[in-house]
Structure 1
């Protein structure tokens, strides 16, 4: 199965709907719907952007349909790079020379004007290194298009599953770095956005990779504003990808920030094992990734067998075990017993600090804290010393508390299971 290099799965046999009319000029008419969309966007952006919030204001750029048709060579199949939940995605080049990804709404798809509005509003007002940068949008006539920065390293899904022959598998350190970056983006949405935002649609195809495999979350059409202080959840229709959805959300439609924690846990399992969240080609007991991982871990000796074969054993068993602990805490059936995203961030920071070094002489695991056993440039070391020291003072206590809590929960779970086995 082929995958797109940038935005999820690519259907090789799919023909862009514009191919048949590639010589026609794009329509320039405006209808009532597009006028209403633009008015609503302008009103909400004006209300949300303060005088000091220049970055959000400059991010709400409007494009004409003709501009984007020109940028993508009239949406011909040569520019087609994939299909997302919103619609088809084409690579384009703006008049400024900037390379972009242009998503065009599929009117027969599941997403429409509401999801279009949500994505434009959220990404126009929220900026973070781990959120994809929305350059602009088009709401002209019946056309709904979103313009993003182009992510040349593709999606996480493309780098994990059905890997193309010319691509190298992701190594352990890179996988943990990607997971940590995703948690930072989610944590920003949960704690820094006002009101908080529940992403709702985290999956490997929605995690895009920049240079150095820096992860950015994309596709915000299904995001929801989180509950206020007097409410515990948001009730909404169930939408998402089977295999990722938290059980309480799938069964009741009650959405909380702990739902995002669950979906992250599935993605982390995906990174560890190299398996898809849902694989119907496997047996009944193995097609759900979460269920398979739980069954494998009934015997502690089996945890090494969970690792992606493409890693070829190039990982620390200690780090693998800790990563599995984090993942299984996140996918607990009881939402209240899952850690917060802030706690997950601290745990992932710990895991990324314990880098695997195949050349280090550190015993069986060859796992070293970041910087150990590595020669550093004296000038860089001097320049970074003050900043590193400050960050360590700020983070050490938080990290210690988070680690103690998460590893303590694992210990209590094991003791509880042992007690149940004895009494049973």
Structure 2
């Protein structure tokens, strides 16, 4: 591995470059571009694509497998997102978060180097028609959901950084060799001030279908925004349906609410899972659907915290409140946003709010 300490990186960059990389990043290295090119065979093995760039598989000279995200563009926004992810991930350590090994910021190249996740993203098991959906049993799904929740509790409450991820979705949940989840995609994440539960944003950032309706209305972001996206993710895992729909297609939340209101929540569950799981597992799956509906409550104040959600997961005898979600505003908002070129379904992006009253 070719790397240096971040103190040395900072001193050199402060002297030779205006592309400021903050200090204090323990265990994160700066790679030179030649090392990255050699490790990825000149960026030849694409394993992913997101709104921020391509992801390549690589192998260091030590034999360690890595994933390299090569960021698109050279805009001020992309530079901010790049520095933001380095700053946040360098300060976070949890088994349910992706481990950032280092970065490269040379010769107009910006790359992030992560540990390699052999089972790709959760999204690939939900939407890829060529992948065997039988691989994800309910036991595996339950462990994935609980692992995501523990990762969110860590960044929301336990890390003392009070981080809001702002882009929780299946494509940002990576799976290791044992199908344990790791939250990735921290480009849009935001650190709150100590004791601060929410903040205002100058841009609406995230992915259509996962955006908290209150956040879209007001521009105020909080850890409850992550809870909302987490609820949508649970429903995707159970139903194997897309979060966002186009045209006359019924959206995920419309489908779930229709089934729930008719007393047919069992039809939210993907048919393969319905056929393969035992009755006690189906009962637990229905409870998780109920919890997901509480997570996507349009009112952030009555939406549960992630700690409350974990309590509901572990204490199956605890009664759950009735969901109060309506979906009129959500459907209207998604219809309006679907025509915005800067915020497209399935890809993280940012857009200017409709009013300049939002502050930073």
Aligning the two structures, in what range does the TM-score lie when normalised by the shorter sequence?
A: 0.7 to 0.9
Q: Aligned match of 2:273 in 299, 303, 311? A: 311
Residue 74 in 1 paired to residue 37 in 2?
no
The 5-angstrom pairing of residues 24-173 of structure 1 reads: 35-37=17-19, 39-42=20-23, 45=24, 57=26, 59-76=27-44, 79-107=45-73, 112-165=78-131, 168-173=134-139
What is the distance in 1 between the residues matched to 2:76 and 2:258? 35
SS in 2 for 1:97: coil
Cross-structure match for 2:234: 268
Greater RCO structure (CA 8 Å; 6+ sep): 2
The 5-angstrom pairing of residues 13-412 of structure 1 reads: 35-37=17-19, 39-42=20-23, 45=24, 57=26, 59-76=27-44, 79-107=45-73, 112-165=78-131, 168-226=134-192, 228-229=194-195, 232-280=198-246, 283-284=248-249, 286=250, 288-300=251-263, 302-315=264-277, 316-350=281-315, 403-404=318-319, 407=320, 409-410=321-322
Native 8 Å contact 1:160 1:169 kept in 2? no
Any idea what the Cα deviations from partners look like across 1:366-409, whole Å, max 9, x if unmatched? xxxxxxxxxxxxxxxxxxxxxxxxxxxxxxxxxx7xx34xx1x2
Native 8 Å contact 1:87 1:109 kept in 2? no
Native 8 Å contact 1:200 1:259 kept in 2? yes
Displacement after TM superposition at 1:31 (Å)? 9.2
Cross-structure match for 2:329: none
Task: Tell me how many residue pairs correspond in the alignment.
Answer: 311
Give the CA RMSD over aligned residues: 2.5
What is the distance in 2 between the residues matched to 1:110 and 1:332? 35
Any idea what the Cα deviations from partners look like across 1:130-154, whole Å, max 9, x if unmatched? 0001111011131111000110101
What is the distance in 2 between the residues matched to 1:260 and 1:63? 32
Question: Between Structure 1 and Structure 2, which shows a larger proportion of helix residues?
Answer: 1
Structure 1 alignment gaps of length 5 or more: 1-29, 46-55, 352-399, 415-424
**C-alpha spacing 1:34/1:335, structure 2 compared with 1 (3 Å):** farther
Displacement after TM superposition at 1:169 (Å)? 3.9
Displacement after TM superposition at 1:317 (Å)? 3.0
What is the distance in 2 between the residues matched to 1:174 and 1:88? 28
Native 8 Å contact 1:236 1:254 kept in 2? no
What is the distance in 1 between the residues matched to 2:196 and 2:22? 28
SS in 2 for 1:90: strand
Structure 2 alignment gaps of length 5 or more: 1-11, 326-360
Any idea what the Cα deviations from partners look like across 1:92-115, whole Å, max 9, x if unmatched? 111111110011111178951111
**C-alpha spacing 1:205/1:346, structure 2 compared with 1 (3 Å):** same
SS in 2 for 1:144: strand
Native 8 Å contact 1:245 1:263 kept in 2? yes
**C-alpha spacing 1:124/1:292, structure 2 compared with 1 (3 Å):** same
Native 8 Å contact 1:236 1:255 kept in 2? no
What is the distance in 2 between the residues matched to 1:312 and 1:318? 11
Displacement after TM superposition at 1:36 (Å)? 3.1
TM-score (norm 2): 0.80
What is the distance in 2 between the residues matched to 1:125 and 1:209? 21
Cross-structure match for 1:14: none
Native 8 Å contact 1:62 1:137 kept in 2? yes
**C-alpha spacing 1:167/1:176, structure 2 compared with 1 (3 Å):** closer
